[in-house]
Chains A and B, each alone.
Chain A
Amino acid sequence: MPPSHPALKIHKNAHWRDVHHANDAVRCTRYELTPRTGTTNEQLLDVGGALGAVLEFAIDEGEPLRTGGGRWSLSSIGRPKSALLDLGNHRRISAVPTTWLTPESQASSASAEVTPMLIAAGMTVNVVHRELAKKKLALKTSGASDGQTFAGAIATGTHGADLNVGALHDTVLAVHLVVGPDRSFLLQASTGGLTEKAAETLGRWFGIPCELVSDDQLIRAARVHLGSLGVVLHVIVETVPLYYLERRVTPHQDGDLRWRPVLSHRRPNAADAGHPASPDFLSLILHPYLPHPENEPRAWLNTMRKLPFTGQTGVITKPSDVSLKSDLADFLPGIVHLFEHDLELPRNPILRAITSSQLRSIYGTTVSTKRALPGAMFGPPDFLGIDFDPLRGASAEYVFNATQALVGVETILQTLATQASAGNQYLGGIGIRFVKGSNAWLALNAKQTTCFVELQSLYTDELPAIHSAVASALTKASVPYAGHWGQWALNTPAVLRSYWGERAITQWKKARATLLPTAKLRKIFASPILAAAGLG
């Protein structure tokens, strides 16, 4: 018998497709949790009841279940096999009650001006930005775009470019993980400030008993959970007083000797005195090839710093300003729009000129500054209205130690040039970001400072060969790398061993076996990307 609950809608033959059309579309059964009209407590019980019914059915039937995210990933990490759990209607956010926190935790949060927030993890980061701003609060950091669900963002290690905080998952204090119809965990670090009261209350609210687990190994696994440790129903996240971001973008020609050294020393004011000496965010956008003519910009250096927001004028507060193109977020849809009119791909020489034009139009040819709240700065890319068919988007992100940033980036640029001369033209842009390190086992920002190089492009038949060549070149240059979990599948067992090491792999798998103790249970939350990486 299919699952049944008054707060559960079952959509058979639902159509799933990722935003970038990177994966093949899927027909699946979508289980939509739809709490009925009632009191807040009744609605929470509806969420827990419907979720329990779906989990009971999936476990009984051995049916793999993916929790639907924002469909932002270009990898297969969010692609359902046959069943999709839709938590999109469970949309709540509140400050963590003080009774959930130890006195020490209350004191340290107050002195650090940190407000722990309980967030329904099926909401998008965009919505979290918006709701926090209403409370004069903000996430400490964010991805470069914010269409992912919160659970999906931390599942894939979504990172942004914060040199002082790390990635979004590094701001997560606790994860509320549901692993069965009558079992859930509230995971926190051994030094975590949550009390038994927190787990007891969550269990009562949702009708799914909850156990507080203060364990460093488990929380380090759950912070980057790959969507495979159970259903992440809530997270408790550190938030800070609302700030705005002041962004400066400077264009640089290829021959400009100032931008390349920034890859090594990360002092952007050495490239342009107007940049801050110690920015909060640091990234670069690169043209993959030498532009023609050569006096066109090759690189755009982008810094941001956080400043307290007290209602200053001139700060963009709504995520609708199309001038906020600080990253590659809008590059791909734009280039699809330009390339969809029957151009012969990919050897048409006009395509490089189009790429140049697209980069220029987004990032400019003169110094620019903008001020915006995080929810506006990282706001929605311009996806709606772009019909990708018959084209497909693709993106791979190579991640390596920032100490090797210069050699890694030069290796990639040289490889792209070599491939192009052999007829394999790369039709995309390059984004480079730097992020402070994390202690999550499978975090991409695993190094003290990590360099991320994103290659976002159209999918062409030549693209696999290009990425194979890039990966080989990095290996040959002795640059151990990993791939973004939400992008092109680069993470083979060998890549995992060379980048994260055996201990991280073993600990993550051990945590998974602890939380999901049977093979049958692990199969429910498995995914192809997990198998490809040798993680289960």
Chain B
Amino acid sequence: MKQRLERGGVVGPARAGGAGRLLAILLLLSGCGQVVAIKVARHDPNPSGYYVCEPAEDGKTFNCKSDRAFHVYDSELAAGEPCEYGIANLHVETNWRGKVTRIQFSCAVAPVGEFPKE
């Protein structure tokens, strides 16, 4: 049974990592206290992507890919990478033991500006 622990949460500005520019997002899941690191693909061609993260082989991290393109729900968040404008939505699934089995998030999009005064 899938369990929702958090929805619409804000992770805060995502930051590019060091060598390899892998993104690590630290999530403190209030329901179970588990800290999860997520690796995001290095050069994802879809900056406004919808990412699905599955557990990596090491059992400690999650690998993410955006196999569904431009699934964006607009939200206002700070800028970061590879989601240039931060993360819009976050959805975490756990198994019955509270172990995280899948994480989904979508990138926020650009802020809204005004037209010239003429």
Q: Which residues of A contact B (CB under 8 A)?
A: 11, 14-17, 19, 30, 40-41, 44, 68, 71, 86, 88-89, 91-94, 97, 99, 118, 123-124, 126-127, 130-131, 147, 201, 205, 320, 322, 337, 341, 380, 382-385
Q: Would you mind naming 21 contact pairs between A and B with Cβ atoms under 8 Å apart? A: A11-B46, A14-B69, A15-B67, A17-B69, A17-B71, A40-B115, A44-B116, A89-B109, A89-B110, A91-B113, A92-B113, A92-B114, A93-B112, A93-B115, A99-B118, A123-B74, A127-B74, A205-B116, A383-B73, A384-B7, A385-B4
Q: Whose C-beta in chain A lies nearest to the C-beta of B69?
A: A15
Could you list 7 further interchain pairs (A-B, Cβ under 8 angstroms) beyond the known A40-B114, A124-B74? Answer: A14-B70, A123-B74, A126-B74, A130-B76, A131-B112, A205-B115, A322-B7
| A interface, over-half SS | mixed
Given the known inter-chain contacts A11-B46, A30-B70, A88-B72, please indicate yes or no for A320 contacting B109, CB distance below 8 A.
no
Closest CB in chain A relative to B45 CB, distance in Å? 6
In whole angstroms, what is the CA distance A69 to B67 when docked?
Answer: 19
Q: Whose C-beta in chain B lies nearest to the C-beta of A385?
A: B91
Beta-carbon contacts of B2-18 to A below 8 Å, as 1s and 0s?
A: 10100110000000000
Across-interface contacts of A17 in B (CB, < 8 A): 68-69, 71
Across-interface contacts of A337 in B (CB, < 8 A): 2
Closest CB in chain B relative to A65 CB, distance in Å? 16
Closest CB in chain A relative to B95 CB, distance in Å? 14
Across-interface contacts of B74 in A (CB, < 8 A): 123-124, 126-127, 130
In whole angstroms, what is the CA distance A40 to B111 when docked?
Answer: 13
- Choose from A16, A123, A341 the contact partner of B69 (Cβ within 8 Å): A16
Q: Whose C-beta in chain A lies nearest to the C-beta of B2?
A: A337
Cross-chain contact B70 with A147 (CB below 8 angstroms): no
Q: Which of B70, B110, B111 has the most CB of A within 10 A?
A: B70
In whole angstroms, what is the CA distance A88 to B112 when docked?
Answer: 11
Q: Whose C-beta in chain B lies nearest to the C-beta of A12?
A: B45
Across-interface contacts of A91 in B (CB, < 8 A): 109-113
Given the known inter-chain contacts A384-B106, A385-B91, please indicate yes or no for A93 contacting B70, CB distance below 8 A.
no
In whole angstroms, what is the CA distance A320 to B76 when docked?
Answer: 13
Across-interface contacts of B7 in A (CB, < 8 A): 322, 382, 384-385
Cross-chain contact A41 with B116 (CB below 8 angstroms): yes
Across-interface contacts of A44 in B (CB, < 8 A): 115-116
Cross-chain contact B114 with A93 (CB below 8 angstroms): yes
Given the known inter-chain contacts A16-B69, A384-B7, please indicate yes or no for A11 contacting B45, CB distance below 8 A.
yes
Q: Whose C-beta in chain B lies nearest to the C-beta of A125?
A: B74
Closest CB in chain A relative to B97 CB, distance in Å? 18
In whole angstroms, what is the CA distance A97 to B109 when docked?
Answer: 27
Beta-carbon contacts of B80-92 to A below 8 Å, as 1s and 0s?
A: 0000000001010
Q: Whose C-beta in chain B lies nearest to the C-beta of A205?
A: B116
In whole angstroms, what is the CA distance A320 to B89 when docked?
Answer: 11
Closest CB in chain A relative to B75 CB, distance in Å? 9
Cross-chain contact B113 with A40 (CB below 8 angstroms): yes
Closest CB in chain B relative to A14 CB, distance in Å? 5
Closest CB in chain B relative to A181 CB, distance in Å? 21
Given the known inter-chain contacts A320-B8, A384-B104, please indicate yes or no for A92 contacting B69, CB distance below 8 A.
no
Across-interface contacts of A89 in B (CB, < 8 A): 109-110
Cross-chain contact A385 with B104 (CB below 8 angstroms): yes
Cross-chain contact A14 with B46 (CB below 8 angstroms): yes
Closest CB in chain B relative to A152 CB, distance in Å? 13
Across-interface contacts of B116 in A (CB, < 8 A): 40-41, 44, 205
Cross-chain contact B70 with A97 (CB below 8 angstroms): no
Closest CB in chain A relative to B4 CB, distance in Å? 6
In whole angstroms, what is the CA distance A152 to B112 when docked?
Answer: 18
In whole angstroms, what is the CA distance A128 to B91 when docked?
Answer: 25
Across-interface contacts of A92 in B (CB, < 8 A): 112-115
User: Is B60 an interface position by the 8 A CB rule?
Assistant: no
In whole angstroms, what is the CA distance A71 to B106 when docked?
Answer: 15
In whole angstroms, what is the CA distance A458 to B61 when docked?
Answer: 35
- Choose from B109, B111, B114 the contact partner of A88 (Cβ within 8 Å): B109
- Choose from B46, B89, B115 the contact partner of A94 (Cβ within 8 Å): B115
In whole angstroms, what is the CA distance A19 to B115 when docked?
Answer: 30
User: Is B99 an interface position by the 8 A CB rule?
Assistant: no
Closest CB in chain A relative to B63 CB, distance in Å? 17
Cross-chain contact B4 with A68 (CB below 8 angstroms): no
In whole angstroms, what is the CA distance A94 to B2 when docked?
Answer: 43
Q: Whose C-beta in chain A lies nearest to the C-beta of B48?
A: A88
Closest CB in chain B relative to A93 CB, distance in Å? 6
Across-interface contacts of B43 in A (CB, < 8 A): none
Closest CB in chain B relative to A387 CB, distance in Å? 8
User: Is B93 an interface position by the 8 A CB rule?
Assistant: yes
Across-interface contacts of B71 in A (CB, < 8 A): 17, 19, 71
Across-interface contacts of B114 in A (CB, < 8 A): 40, 92-94
Across-interface contacts of A126 in B (CB, < 8 A): 73-74
Query: Across chains A and B, which 8 residue pairs bring their CB atoms closest together, nearest first?
Result: A385-B91, A15-B69, A94-B115, A94-B114, A91-B112, A384-B89, A127-B74, A14-B69
In whole angstroms, what is the CA distance A338 to B52 when docked?
Answer: 20
Cross-chain contact A127 with B115 (CB below 8 angstroms): no
Across-interface contacts of B104 in A (CB, < 8 A): 384-385
Across-interface contacts of A94 in B (CB, < 8 A): 114-115
Across-interface contacts of A15 in B (CB, < 8 A): 67-69
Given the known inter-chain contacts A320-B8, A337-B2, please indicate yes or no for A384 contacting B73, CB distance below 8 A.
yes
